[in-house]
Chains A and B, each alone.
Chain A
Amino acid sequence: MGLDFSVVPSFADALLIGVLWTIAITVCAALLSFFGGILFAVIALYAPWFLRLPFRFFAWLFMGTPLLLQLFLIYFGLVELGIDLPAFVAGVIGLGLHFAVYNSELIQTAIVAVDKGQMEAARTLGLSRPQALIRVVIPQAVRDVIPPIGNNMIALLKDSALVSVIGVSELTLSAQLAIGRTYRPFEFYAAAAVLYYIINLGMEAVLRRIERRTQLSR
Protein backbone atom coordinates (compact mmCIF):
# COMPACT_ATOMS: atom_id res chain seq x y z
CA MET A 1 0.00 0.00 0.00
CA GLY A 2 1.65 3.21 -1.18
CA LEU A 3 1.17 6.68 0.17
CA ASP A 4 -1.72 8.82 -0.99
CA PHE A 5 -1.97 12.20 0.69
CA SER A 6 -4.98 13.19 -1.44
CA VAL A 7 -7.28 11.66 1.21
CA VAL A 8 -6.15 14.18 3.82
CA PRO A 9 -7.94 17.33 2.53
CA SER A 10 -11.38 15.70 2.74
CA PHE A 11 -10.83 15.44 6.51
CA ALA A 12 -9.47 18.98 6.81
CA ASP A 13 -12.50 20.16 8.81
CA ALA A 14 -12.23 17.36 11.35
CA LEU A 15 -8.48 17.93 11.75
CA LEU A 16 -8.93 21.68 12.20
CA ILE A 17 -11.56 21.11 14.89
CA GLY A 18 -8.99 18.80 16.49
CA VAL A 19 -6.43 21.63 16.32
CA LEU A 20 -8.85 23.98 18.07
CA TRP A 21 -9.50 21.45 20.84
CA THR A 22 -5.75 20.89 21.24
CA ILE A 23 -5.23 24.64 21.59
CA ALA A 24 -8.17 24.89 24.01
CA ILE A 25 -6.94 22.08 26.24
CA THR A 26 -3.37 23.42 26.14
CA VAL A 27 -4.43 26.95 27.12
CA CYS A 28 -6.75 25.76 29.92
CA ALA A 29 -4.19 23.30 31.30
CA ALA A 30 -1.40 25.90 30.98
CA LEU A 31 -3.38 28.43 33.03
CA LEU A 32 -4.22 25.78 35.63
CA SER A 33 -0.57 24.71 35.82
CA PHE A 34 0.59 28.32 36.19
CA PHE A 35 -1.72 29.37 39.02
CA GLY A 36 -1.67 25.88 40.52
CA GLY A 37 2.13 26.06 40.45
CA ILE A 38 2.09 29.31 42.45
CA LEU A 39 -0.39 27.86 44.96
CA PHE A 40 1.64 24.64 45.32
CA ALA A 41 4.84 26.63 45.81
CA VAL A 42 3.25 28.64 48.63
CA ILE A 43 1.94 25.43 50.26
CA ALA A 44 5.32 23.72 49.96
CA LEU A 45 7.12 26.69 51.51
CA TYR A 46 4.73 28.25 54.03
CA ALA A 47 1.95 25.82 54.96
CA PRO A 48 1.95 24.19 58.43
CA TRP A 49 3.78 20.85 58.50
CA PHE A 50 0.63 18.65 58.43
CA LEU A 51 -0.21 20.18 55.05
CA ARG A 52 3.34 20.63 53.83
CA LEU A 53 4.60 17.08 54.35
CA PRO A 54 1.74 15.21 52.62
CA PHE A 55 1.91 17.80 49.86
CA ARG A 56 5.64 17.19 49.33
CA PHE A 57 5.01 13.44 49.26
CA PHE A 58 2.40 13.81 46.51
CA ALA A 59 4.63 16.20 44.58
CA TRP A 60 7.40 13.60 44.73
CA LEU A 61 4.97 10.87 43.59
CA PHE A 62 3.73 12.99 40.69
CA MET A 63 7.23 13.98 39.55
CA GLY A 64 8.37 10.37 39.57
CA THR A 65 5.54 8.80 37.60
CA PRO A 66 4.48 9.10 33.95
CA LEU A 67 1.75 11.54 32.94
CA LEU A 68 -0.11 8.75 31.13
CA LEU A 69 -0.39 6.77 34.38
CA GLN A 70 -1.65 9.88 36.18
CA LEU A 71 -4.26 10.48 33.49
CA PHE A 72 -5.59 6.96 33.99
CA LEU A 73 -5.67 7.55 37.76
CA ILE A 74 -7.58 10.81 37.43
CA TYR A 75 -9.98 9.61 34.77
CA PHE A 76 -10.88 6.30 36.42
CA GLY A 77 -10.34 7.56 39.96
CA LEU A 78 -12.92 10.32 39.52
CA VAL A 79 -15.42 7.78 38.20
CA GLU A 80 -14.68 5.57 41.22
CA LEU A 81 -15.45 8.51 43.53
CA GLY A 82 -18.73 9.00 41.69
CA ILE A 83 -17.61 12.25 40.05
CA ASP A 84 -18.59 12.10 36.40
CA LEU A 85 -16.55 14.73 34.58
CA PRO A 86 -16.41 15.17 30.81
CA ALA A 87 -13.17 13.77 29.34
CA PHE A 88 -12.06 17.30 28.42
CA VAL A 89 -12.24 18.49 32.04
CA ALA A 90 -10.47 15.35 33.29
CA GLY A 91 -7.76 15.94 30.67
CA VAL A 92 -7.31 19.58 31.70
CA ILE A 93 -7.09 18.61 35.37
CA GLY A 94 -4.60 15.81 34.69
CA LEU A 95 -2.32 17.86 32.42
CA GLY A 96 -2.69 20.98 34.55
CA LEU A 97 -1.86 19.31 37.87
CA HIS A 98 1.07 17.37 36.37
CA PHE A 99 2.71 20.55 35.09
CA ALA A 100 1.67 22.57 38.17
CA VAL A 101 3.96 20.32 40.20
CA TYR A 102 6.87 21.02 37.83
CA ASN A 103 6.11 24.77 37.78
CA SER A 104 5.88 24.78 41.56
CA GLU A 105 9.45 23.46 41.84
CA LEU A 106 10.67 26.35 39.67
CA ILE A 107 8.62 28.95 41.55
CA GLN A 108 9.75 27.66 44.97
CA THR A 109 13.39 28.14 44.02
CA ALA A 110 12.62 31.61 42.69
CA ILE A 111 10.67 32.68 45.81
CA VAL A 112 13.57 31.62 48.03
CA ALA A 113 15.95 33.56 45.76
CA VAL A 114 14.04 36.87 46.04
CA ASP A 115 16.06 39.29 48.18
CA LYS A 116 15.00 39.12 51.86
CA GLY A 117 15.05 42.92 51.96
CA GLN A 118 11.97 42.99 49.73
CA MET A 119 9.87 41.17 52.32
CA GLU A 120 11.32 43.26 55.15
CA ALA A 121 10.64 46.51 53.32
CA ALA A 122 7.07 45.48 52.51
CA ARG A 123 6.46 44.48 56.14
CA THR A 124 7.93 47.80 57.35
CA LEU A 125 5.55 49.63 55.02
CA GLY A 126 2.68 47.97 56.86
CA LEU A 127 1.75 45.07 54.58
CA SER A 128 0.82 41.82 56.29
CA ARG A 129 2.89 38.73 55.44
CA PRO A 130 0.34 37.28 52.97
CA GLN A 131 -0.03 40.72 51.34
CA ALA A 132 3.73 41.09 51.04
CA LEU A 133 3.96 37.62 49.51
CA ILE A 134 1.19 38.17 46.99
CA ARG A 135 2.04 41.73 46.00
CA VAL A 136 5.81 41.92 46.33
CA VAL A 137 7.62 38.59 46.52
CA ILE A 138 5.62 36.28 44.24
CA PRO A 139 5.40 38.67 41.26
CA GLN A 140 9.18 39.07 41.28
CA ALA A 141 9.75 35.34 41.70
CA VAL A 142 7.38 34.44 38.87
CA ARG A 143 8.97 36.97 36.52
CA ASP A 144 12.34 35.32 37.06
CA VAL A 145 11.11 31.89 35.98
CA ILE A 146 8.97 32.87 32.99
CA PRO A 147 11.45 31.33 30.47
CA PRO A 148 11.64 27.85 32.10
CA ILE A 149 7.87 27.89 32.74
CA GLY A 150 7.54 28.61 29.01
CA ASN A 151 9.54 25.46 28.30
CA ASN A 152 7.14 23.50 30.47
CA MET A 153 4.23 24.94 28.48
CA ILE A 154 5.80 23.73 25.23
CA ALA A 155 6.15 20.28 26.80
CA LEU A 156 2.51 20.54 27.91
CA LEU A 157 1.38 21.20 24.34
CA LYS A 158 3.10 18.06 23.11
CA ASP A 159 1.89 16.00 26.06
CA SER A 160 -1.67 17.10 25.33
CA ALA A 161 -1.60 14.33 22.68
CA LEU A 162 -1.79 11.86 25.59
CA VAL A 163 -5.32 12.89 26.56
CA SER A 164 -6.52 11.19 23.37
CA VAL A 165 -6.23 7.90 25.30
CA ILE A 166 -8.92 9.00 27.75
CA GLY A 167 -11.15 10.05 24.88
CA VAL A 168 -10.64 13.80 24.54
CA SER A 169 -11.31 14.48 20.87
CA GLU A 170 -8.29 16.67 20.20
CA LEU A 171 -5.92 16.53 17.23
CA THR A 172 -4.50 13.05 17.87
CA LEU A 173 -7.93 11.48 18.31
CA SER A 174 -9.24 13.35 15.23
CA ALA A 175 -6.39 11.82 13.23
CA GLN A 176 -7.23 8.40 14.65
CA LEU A 177 -10.90 8.76 13.71
CA ALA A 178 -9.91 9.68 10.14
CA ILE A 179 -7.59 6.64 10.07
CA GLY A 180 -10.46 4.44 11.23
CA ARG A 181 -12.43 5.55 8.19
CA THR A 182 -9.64 5.43 5.58
CA TYR A 183 -7.00 2.95 6.87
CA ARG A 184 -4.29 5.48 6.03
CA PRO A 185 -2.31 5.85 9.29
CA PHE A 186 0.87 7.26 7.77
CA GLU A 187 -0.85 10.11 5.95
CA PHE A 188 -2.95 11.24 8.92
CA TYR A 189 -0.29 10.90 11.59
CA ALA A 190 2.10 12.82 9.32
CA ALA A 191 -0.58 15.50 8.85
CA ALA A 192 -1.11 15.63 12.63
CA ALA A 193 2.67 15.96 13.15
CA VAL A 194 2.78 18.93 10.76
CA LEU A 195 -0.17 20.58 12.53
CA TYR A 196 1.43 20.06 15.95
CA TYR A 197 4.64 21.54 14.59
CA ILE A 198 2.78 24.64 13.41
CA ILE A 199 0.95 25.05 16.74
CA ASN A 200 4.32 24.66 18.45
CA LEU A 201 5.84 27.46 16.34
CA GLY A 202 2.87 29.70 17.15
CA MET A 203 3.17 28.95 20.83
CA GLU A 204 6.90 29.68 20.84
CA ALA A 205 6.21 33.06 19.24
CA VAL A 206 3.58 33.90 21.89
CA LEU A 207 5.93 32.82 24.70
CA ARG A 208 8.76 34.96 23.30
CA ARG A 209 6.44 37.96 23.36
CA ILE A 210 5.42 37.28 26.94
CA GLU A 211 9.08 36.87 27.88
CA ARG A 212 10.03 40.17 26.29
CA ARG A 213 7.11 42.01 27.90
CA THR A 214 7.86 40.68 31.37
CA GLN A 215 11.61 41.30 31.13
CA LEU A 216 11.03 44.94 30.02
CA SER A 217 9.61 45.89 33.39
CA ARG A 218 12.89 45.15 35.18
Chain B
Amino acid sequence: MDIDLMLRVYPYFLEAAWVTIQLSVLTIVLGLICGMIGAAGRLSRFAILRFLAAAYVSFFRGTPALIQIFLLYFGGPQVGIQLDAFEAGVIGLGVNIGAYMTETMRGAIISIDKGQIEASRTLGLSKFETFRKVTLPQALRLMIRPLGVNINAQIKGTALVAAISVVELTYTAQRYIGSTYKPFEMFLIAGILYLIIITASGKVISYLDRRVRLQ
Protein backbone atom coordinates (compact mmCIF):
# COMPACT_ATOMS: atom_id res chain seq x y z
CA MET B 1 0.00 0.00 0.00
CA ASP B 2 1.35 3.41 -1.01
CA ILE B 3 0.91 5.46 2.18
CA ASP B 4 3.01 8.39 0.86
CA LEU B 5 0.70 8.81 -2.10
CA MET B 6 -2.36 8.60 0.16
CA LEU B 7 -0.97 11.34 2.40
CA ARG B 8 -0.23 13.50 -0.65
CA VAL B 9 -3.70 13.31 -2.18
CA TYR B 10 -6.03 13.17 0.83
CA PRO B 11 -6.46 16.98 1.08
CA TYR B 12 -8.21 16.87 -2.29
CA PHE B 13 -10.48 14.14 -0.96
CA LEU B 14 -11.31 16.30 2.07
CA GLU B 15 -12.45 19.11 -0.23
CA ALA B 16 -14.50 16.63 -2.19
CA ALA B 17 -16.01 15.24 1.02
CA TRP B 18 -17.24 18.75 1.83
CA VAL B 19 -19.05 18.81 -1.53
CA THR B 20 -20.56 15.39 -0.73
CA ILE B 21 -21.78 16.76 2.63
CA GLN B 22 -23.34 19.79 0.92
CA LEU B 23 -25.01 17.56 -1.66
CA SER B 24 -26.29 15.27 1.10
CA VAL B 25 -27.75 18.06 3.22
CA LEU B 26 -29.38 19.88 0.31
CA THR B 27 -30.86 16.73 -1.25
CA ILE B 28 -32.15 15.49 2.11
CA VAL B 29 -33.86 18.84 2.83
CA LEU B 30 -35.38 18.88 -0.65
CA GLY B 31 -36.34 15.23 -0.25
CA LEU B 32 -38.10 15.91 3.05
CA ILE B 33 -40.07 18.78 1.45
CA CYS B 34 -41.04 16.59 -1.54
CA GLY B 35 -41.87 13.77 0.87
CA MET B 36 -44.21 15.97 2.90
CA ILE B 37 -45.99 17.26 -0.19
CA GLY B 38 -46.11 13.74 -1.63
CA ALA B 39 -47.47 12.20 1.57
CA ALA B 40 -50.10 14.95 1.86
CA GLY B 41 -51.08 14.19 -1.75
CA ARG B 42 -51.21 10.43 -1.19
CA LEU B 43 -53.55 10.94 1.80
CA SER B 44 -55.63 13.72 0.23
CA ARG B 45 -59.41 13.72 -0.04
CA PHE B 46 -59.15 14.63 -3.71
CA ALA B 47 -58.72 11.78 -6.17
CA ILE B 48 -56.69 13.93 -8.58
CA LEU B 49 -54.09 14.78 -5.89
CA ARG B 50 -53.93 11.13 -4.83
CA PHE B 51 -53.36 10.14 -8.44
CA LEU B 52 -50.64 12.76 -9.02
CA ALA B 53 -48.80 11.79 -5.85
CA ALA B 54 -49.04 8.09 -6.70
CA ALA B 55 -47.71 8.78 -10.21
CA TYR B 56 -44.81 10.78 -8.73
CA VAL B 57 -43.87 7.94 -6.39
CA SER B 58 -44.29 5.29 -9.05
CA PHE B 59 -42.15 7.05 -11.67
CA PHE B 60 -39.30 7.99 -9.37
CA ARG B 61 -39.19 4.63 -7.61
CA GLY B 62 -39.70 2.66 -10.82
CA THR B 63 -36.80 4.07 -12.85
CA PRO B 64 -33.07 4.39 -12.08
CA ALA B 65 -31.98 7.59 -10.33
CA LEU B 66 -29.10 7.83 -12.80
CA ILE B 67 -31.54 8.04 -15.74
CA GLN B 68 -33.55 10.72 -13.90
CA ILE B 69 -30.43 12.82 -13.37
CA PHE B 70 -29.34 12.39 -17.00
CA LEU B 71 -32.84 13.29 -18.18
CA LEU B 72 -32.79 16.49 -16.11
CA TYR B 73 -29.18 17.53 -16.83
CA PHE B 74 -28.78 16.55 -20.50
CA GLY B 75 -32.44 16.58 -21.57
CA GLY B 76 -33.47 19.63 -19.55
CA PRO B 77 -32.14 22.26 -22.00
CA GLN B 78 -34.42 20.83 -24.72
CA VAL B 79 -37.46 21.72 -22.64
CA GLY B 80 -36.06 25.04 -21.40
CA ILE B 81 -34.50 23.88 -18.10
CA GLN B 82 -30.87 25.08 -17.92
CA LEU B 83 -29.08 23.85 -14.81
CA ASP B 84 -25.43 23.44 -13.95
CA ALA B 85 -24.28 19.99 -12.87
CA PHE B 86 -24.45 20.70 -9.13
CA GLU B 87 -27.99 22.14 -9.36
CA ALA B 88 -29.16 19.27 -11.56
CA GLY B 89 -27.64 16.81 -9.10
CA VAL B 90 -29.34 18.37 -6.08
CA ILE B 91 -32.74 18.64 -7.75
CA GLY B 92 -32.58 15.22 -9.40
CA LEU B 93 -31.44 13.39 -6.27
CA GLY B 94 -33.73 15.39 -3.95
CA VAL B 95 -36.87 14.75 -5.96
CA ASN B 96 -35.85 11.08 -6.26
CA ILE B 97 -35.35 10.49 -2.53
CA GLY B 98 -38.54 12.49 -1.93
CA ALA B 99 -40.50 9.69 -3.59
CA TYR B 100 -39.07 7.16 -1.12
CA MET B 101 -39.66 9.56 1.78
CA THR B 102 -43.26 10.04 0.64
CA GLU B 103 -43.89 6.36 1.25
CA THR B 104 -42.01 6.40 4.57
CA MET B 105 -44.08 9.33 5.86
CA ARG B 106 -47.35 7.96 4.54
CA GLY B 107 -46.60 4.61 6.19
CA ALA B 108 -46.00 6.28 9.55
CA ILE B 109 -49.16 8.40 9.32
CA ILE B 110 -51.51 5.56 8.36
CA SER B 111 -50.09 3.32 11.08
CA ILE B 112 -51.57 5.60 13.78
CA ASP B 113 -54.50 3.83 15.43
CA LYS B 114 -57.86 4.93 13.98
CA GLY B 115 -59.30 4.95 17.50
CA GLN B 116 -57.08 7.93 18.36
CA ILE B 117 -58.53 9.97 15.53
CA GLU B 118 -62.10 8.96 16.41
CA ALA B 119 -61.51 9.78 20.08
CA SER B 120 -60.12 13.24 19.39
CA ARG B 121 -62.91 13.97 16.90
CA THR B 122 -65.42 12.93 19.59
CA LEU B 123 -63.72 15.31 22.02
CA GLY B 124 -64.56 18.12 19.63
CA LEU B 125 -61.26 18.71 17.79
CA SER B 126 -61.58 19.60 14.14
CA LYS B 127 -60.06 17.34 11.50
CA PHE B 128 -57.09 19.68 11.09
CA GLU B 129 -56.55 19.98 14.84
CA THR B 130 -56.74 16.19 15.15
CA PHE B 131 -54.06 15.79 12.50
CA ARG B 132 -51.81 18.50 13.95
CA LYS B 133 -52.16 17.62 17.63
CA VAL B 134 -52.81 13.88 17.66
CA THR B 135 -51.77 12.11 14.46
CA LEU B 136 -48.71 14.08 13.40
CA PRO B 137 -46.75 14.12 16.69
CA GLN B 138 -47.08 10.35 17.00
CA ALA B 139 -46.32 9.77 13.31
CA LEU B 140 -43.19 11.96 13.50
CA ARG B 141 -41.85 9.72 16.23
CA LEU B 142 -42.49 6.62 14.13
CA MET B 143 -40.90 8.02 10.97
CA ILE B 144 -37.49 9.06 12.32
CA ARG B 145 -35.93 5.60 12.09
CA PRO B 146 -37.18 4.72 8.59
CA LEU B 147 -36.30 8.22 7.36
CA GLY B 148 -32.84 7.51 8.76
CA VAL B 149 -32.66 4.51 6.42
CA ASN B 150 -33.62 6.79 3.49
CA ILE B 151 -31.00 9.34 4.55
CA ASN B 152 -28.27 6.70 4.83
CA ALA B 153 -29.11 5.51 1.30
CA GLN B 154 -29.15 9.09 0.05
CA ILE B 155 -25.65 9.92 1.32
CA LYS B 156 -24.33 7.01 -0.73
CA GLY B 157 -26.71 8.01 -3.55
CA THR B 158 -24.93 11.37 -3.95
CA ALA B 159 -22.14 9.40 -5.69
CA LEU B 160 -24.36 9.28 -8.79
CA VAL B 161 -23.63 12.91 -9.63
CA ALA B 162 -20.05 11.85 -10.37
CA ALA B 163 -21.57 10.69 -13.67
CA ILE B 164 -22.40 14.32 -14.54
CA SER B 165 -18.93 15.46 -13.40
CA VAL B 166 -19.78 17.09 -10.07
CA VAL B 167 -16.46 17.03 -8.23
CA GLU B 168 -17.51 15.11 -5.11
CA LEU B 169 -15.90 12.13 -3.38
CA THR B 170 -16.59 9.41 -5.91
CA TYR B 171 -15.64 11.63 -8.87
CA THR B 172 -12.41 12.59 -7.12
CA ALA B 173 -11.64 8.94 -6.34
CA GLN B 174 -12.32 8.00 -9.95
CA ARG B 175 -10.04 10.77 -11.22
CA TYR B 176 -7.20 9.77 -8.93
CA ILE B 177 -7.63 6.09 -9.74
CA GLY B 178 -7.26 7.07 -13.39
CA SER B 179 -4.16 9.19 -12.85
CA THR B 180 -2.32 7.12 -10.20
CA TYR B 181 -3.43 3.55 -11.05
CA LYS B 182 -3.81 2.91 -7.32
CA PRO B 183 -7.48 1.84 -7.07
CA PHE B 184 -7.27 0.28 -3.58
CA GLU B 185 -5.59 3.27 -1.95
CA MET B 186 -8.02 5.76 -3.50
CA PHE B 187 -11.00 3.57 -2.62
CA LEU B 188 -9.79 3.36 0.95
CA ILE B 189 -9.49 7.16 1.38
CA ALA B 190 -12.90 7.83 -0.15
CA GLY B 191 -14.45 4.88 1.69
CA ILE B 192 -13.22 6.06 5.09
CA LEU B 193 -14.60 9.56 4.43
CA TYR B 194 -17.99 8.15 3.39
CA LEU B 195 -18.05 6.00 6.52
CA ILE B 196 -17.29 9.02 8.70
CA ILE B 197 -20.14 11.01 7.11
CA ILE B 198 -22.58 8.10 7.36
CA THR B 199 -21.63 7.23 10.93
CA ALA B 200 -22.01 10.88 11.98
CA SER B 201 -25.45 11.18 10.37
CA GLY B 202 -26.46 7.86 11.93
CA LYS B 203 -25.50 9.22 15.36
CA VAL B 204 -27.61 12.36 14.82
CA ILE B 205 -30.60 10.26 13.78
CA SER B 206 -30.38 7.87 16.72
CA TYR B 207 -30.00 10.88 19.04
CA LEU B 208 -33.20 12.40 17.61
CA ASP B 209 -34.92 9.03 17.86
CA ARG B 210 -33.96 8.69 21.54
CA ARG B 211 -35.06 12.25 22.29
CA VAL B 212 -38.59 11.79 20.94
CA ARG B 213 -38.90 8.40 22.63
CA LEU B 214 -38.23 9.88 26.06
CA GLN B 215 -41.26 12.17 25.94
The answer to whether B78 touches A196, judged by C-beta atoms less than 8 angstroms apart, is no
Cβ 8 A contact of B194, one of A2, A69, A179: A69
- Chain B binder among A35-43, A121-129, A157-165: A157-165
How many interface residues does chain A have, given as a range?
35 or more
A65 at interface by CB-CB < 8 Å: yes
Residue among A67, A72, A159 with most chain B CB within 10 A = A72
A83 → chain B, closest Cβ, in Å? 12
Given contacts A185-B75, A189-B75, are A66 and B63 in contact (CB under 8 A)? no
User: Within the assembled complex, what's the spacing in Å between the Cα atoms of A189 and B195?
Assistant: 32
Q: Is the interface of A mostly helix, strand, loop or mixed?
A: helix
Name the interface residues of B137-192: CB closer than 8 Å to any CB of A.
156-160, 162-163, 169-170, 173-174, 177-178, 181-184, 187, 190-191
Give the residues in chain A near B62, CB-CB below 8 Å: 196-197, 200-201
The answer to whether B191 touches A77, judged by C-beta atoms less than 8 angstroms apart, is no
Residue among A69, A184, A187, A200 with most chain B CB within 10 A = A69
B60 → chain A, closest Cβ, in Å? 10
Cβ 8 A contact of A193, one of B71, B163, B177: B71
Q: Is the interface of B mostly helix, strand, loop or mixed?
A: helix
A49 at interface by CB-CB < 8 Å: no
A186 at interface by CB-CB < 8 Å: yes
A68 at interface by CB-CB < 8 Å: yes
A189 → chain B, closest Cβ, in Å? 4
Cβ 8 A contact of A64, one of B76, B170, B195: B195
**Chain A, residue nearest B65 (CB):** A158
The answer to whether B64 touches A69, judged by C-beta atoms less than 8 angstroms apart, is no
Name the interface residues of A43-87: CB closer than 8 Å to any CB of B.
60-61, 64-70, 72-73, 76-77, 80
The answer to whether A200 touches B78, judged by C-beta atoms less than 8 angstroms apart, is no
Q: Which residues of chain B have a CB within 8 Å of any CB of chain A?
A: 59, 62-68, 70-71, 74-79, 156-160, 162-163, 169-170, 173-174, 177-178, 181-184, 187, 190-191, 194-195, 198-199
8 contacts between A and B (CB under 8 A): A68-B162, A69-B190, A80-B183, A80-B184, A160-B64, A172-B70, A193-B68, A197-B59
Other A-B contacts than A61-B191, A73-B187, A185-B71, 8 sampled, CB-CB below 8 A, are A65-B190, A66-B157, A77-B184, A77-B187, A162-B66, A165-B163, A185-B75, A185-B78
